Amino acid sequence: MKIGFIGLGIMGRPMALNLRAAGHELVVPERRSLTQEIRAAATVVGDAAHVAEQADVIILMVPDTPDVEAALFGHHGVAEGLAKGKLVIDMSSISPIATKDYAARINALGCEYLDAPVSGGEVGAKNAALTIMIGGPESAFERALPLFQAMGKNITHVGVENGAGQTCKVCNQIIVALNIQAVSEALTFARKAGADPAKVRTALMGGFASSRILEVHAERMINRTFAPGFRIKLHQKDLNLALSSAKEMGMALPNTAIAQQMFSVVAAAGGEEQDHSALIQAIELMGNVKV
């Protein structure tokens, strides 16, 4: 297929290159930040509208909800270049509610729309091992499946309604945040009570409390290795999506709100670029102890 790719950052660049390696053509908009590797692999055109004109499928991988709206509907945006029958896939992590609106506006132009956020980070993107959560019509999913298979391994069509993929991603981020907070509290409690947090972690890894967060992030906490795998500021963005969407739906997410406040404590102290496992620093501050 001829793929237009918009958003060639830390995640988008390897995702696009994996599509090219799978035999698909790439069309990308001109940016000063384009690497020579991308320029060699893709046809470079003036803007997002020209990308949409030349491509059969247009993929977005940008930071936040306003970025998706601008890429789609802004001046010289994707919508200006669409023709009936094309497919737009948003792989960013954005608001499920806004996604439904964007999908309806793209559908009105005679095109299909999928929301397909990902999990797995830069490593997963480079290794074509991303988890991809998709919302949208079955026909669009089947059409896009070879593309998803070139970028990921755990591919789930969550629902036929647009927004289902973004909802799933928000759920993922809620669970991850609350697990990080739980592990932070447990390790800080262990240290304050006089136990060795590293040995407590080892013991818990063999029981019902075991998790990927306990395995990976607890080790980061103990070793103080907070170089970012997934930055606090990005997790804050995702929890804001959860909390704002919950407010619109008239429900409460009390523990998610607390986790967001813990991230805010660390961010306020200059840690927003640290890995999200650095949330433990907020718990340590309240306990007057360091793990």
Q: Which residues are catalytic?
A: 169
Distance CA 120, CA 145 (A): 18
What does the DSSP assignment read for 89-101?
Answer: EE-S---HHHHHH
Alpha-carbon gap, residue 26 to 13, rounded angstroms: 11
The answer to whether 107 and 165 are in contact (CB under 8 A) is no
Angle at 166 between CA 165 and CA 171, to 5 degrees: 100
Contact 133, 168 (CB under 8 A): yes
What is the residue type of 134?
I
Cβ-based neighbour number of residue 272 at 10 Å: 18
d(CA 208, CA 198): 17
Q: Read off the tokens for 40.
A: 């060699």
CA distance 200 to 75: 56
Q: Is the separation of the CB atoms in 58 and 51 below 8 Å?
A: yes
Instruction: Report residue 240 CA to chain centroid gap.
Output: 13
> What DSSP line would sit under 130-147, residue for residue?
EEEEEES-HHHHHHHHHH
Backbone angles phi, psi at 9, to 5 degrees: -90, -150
